[in-house]
Amino acid sequence: MSLDKILAISGKPGLYELKTQTRSGFLAESLLDGKKISVSIRNNVSVLSEIAIYTFTEEVPLREIFKKIHEKEGGDQSISHKESKNKLETYFSEVLPDYDEDRVYVSDMKKVIQWYNILQSKGITDFSEPEEKSSEEEE
């Protein structure tokens, strides 16, 4: 399952998998407990593949950060998102040394670490770019 189908819904804990579109929004399934919910198009929804973290030089896609955490932890869970502010900042600077401290808050770090741990626990560890056919392959 790619990050294109994984959603973060404002006001709802955890992550959700996009299942199907409906007339008034879409149906999503919680990765935490498997419950299906109907989500209105008025909800604030973020697709994980579209989220990036600020650094001093560029915005790094979330998939790249997940990949770095995955490599650092050898495929295992990372630290808890409930660790102290100092531990979270130290850990995040090990994963993404040039993150912009003025624009990346501890709450952002907590979400990234929590999301990684949820995905890892569900066996979703392929954080590579979805492959698109190049123009040479199509000819």
pLDDT along the chain (139 residues), means of 10: 91 94 93 94 92 96 96 94 96 96 96 96 86 48
Count of the separate structural domains present in the chain:
2
Tell me if 107 is assigned to some domain. yes
Tell me if 138 is assigned to some domain. no
Tell me if 25 is assigned to some domain. yes
Contact 71, 93 (CB under 8 A): no
Contact 92, 99 (CB under 8 A): yes
* 28 and 75 co-located in one domain: no
- CATH number of the CATH domain containing 14: 2.30.30
Tens of pLDDT, residues 55-64: 999 999 999 9
* 55 and 44 co-located in one domain: no
Which of 32, 48, 64 is the last residue in one of the domains?
48
43 vs 54: CA distance, rounded Å: 24
Position 114 scores a pLDDT of 96
Tell me if 130 is assigned to some domain. no
C-alpha triplet 116, 17, 61: angle, nearest 5°: 45
79 vs 97: CA distance, rounded Å: 17
Give 113's DSSP letter: H
* 71 and 86 co-located in one domain: yes
Position 87 scores a pLDDT of 97
Position 132 scores a pLDDT of 57
Domain housing 97: 51-121
Tell me if 55 is assigned to some domain. yes
* 35 and 13 co-located in one domain: yes
Tell me if 33 is assigned to some domain. yes
Tell me if 39 is assigned to some domain. yes
Amino acid 52 reads A
- CATH number of the CATH domain containing 55: 1.10.10.1650
1 vs 97: CA distance, rounded Å: 28
Tens of pLDDT, residues 36-47: 999 998 899 999
* 21 and 66 co-located in one domain: no
* 38 and 80 co-located in one domain: no
